[in-house]
Amino acid sequence: MEKQSPILSPHRLAFYPCCAGDLEEPRRILAPYVDEILFCDLSKSKAWDRLLEGEGLPKATFLQGDANALIDELENLTVLFYRRDNPGEGGSNLPIMKKEMLSRILRHFDPAGGWIFSDGSMSGKTFDLICSKDWHSKPSLGFQFREREKSSLEIAVPQSLHVIEVRPLPIQASVTRAGWVPPHGETLDALINYCTSNNRLVPQPPQWSELFSMLKNTRQKPSGGWEPPLPLILAAWHHSMPIEKQLRFKDHLTWAQTQNQLEEIGCYLRSLSEDQWCHFGES
């Protein structure tokens, strides 16, 4: 068995960070889904040397090192597998299933989608959302998600594991129906012009909140405020003038420009249906 191989591979790849000696069962579970599993941990487990070849099982490749540093070297992943981790002694203290790290891993997923197998170790709100029984779109992660019933899977999996299907966002279909082709080199002026045409004011609160979650490098100040300021939704929605909402929304578009996100944000906003916008006279 090869113990080292290039991280870039044309095969169907799974990534299992912080794996310790958990090897045999993941190979059996993932056999129908991938050709190779990248097992990664900071320290080498004795189990790595004892692993036996198994006919029909994925190839095992071992990456000894910090998963946080290795994530950005991965390419064309089909599966993320992650379980039995914790922040205490013996654990990695890496929040793989929280939004920031999950987003980094999903950037290296096959654009056609894939799967997440996880028991929810060190997870948070984002993991709860992607465990939806119906398709849940998450533009800030670049995909939409749905938890599959275990009875529908090709092989039995432990009850503790959530099996989440990952597929592309339906943005292009929405864009095509709207007759819009994504531009090369979106500009701030062009995006503002689009967002204020047809009497549009701001996106509806759920879509505005989603847009804000997509923005990079937002931060909470020591004073408690945010940079850029939060969307005027929830209670603020009913206590803000329309022009205040639009000015705040334009602040977010300007922030997207400073973070080199105009094309990403523009693609999201242009994919919204008209009823996902609030118009002047409706707020």
* Domain spans of the chain, in order of start: 13-169, 173-279
Does the bond joining 228 to the residue before it have cis omega, within 30 degrees of 0? yes
pLDDT in tens, 126-135: 999 999 998 8
pLDDT tier at 283 (50, 70, 90 boundaries)?
A: low
Name the residue with higher pLDDT: 213 or 176. 213
Superfamily of domain 13-169: Vaccinia Virus protein VP39 (3.40.50.150)
CA diameter of the chain:
69
Which range is most confident: 4-18, 117-131, 213-227? 117-131
Residues 207-232: what's their mean pLDDT?
90
Q: How many CA atoms lie within 13 A of 244 on its CB side?
A: 12
Which residues sit opposite 79 in a β-bridge?
A: 14, 115
d(CA 259, CA 266): 13
Please give the mean pLDDT across all residues of the chain.
Answer: 86
CA 8, 12, 18, 24 dihedral sign is negative
The amino acid sitting at 147 is E
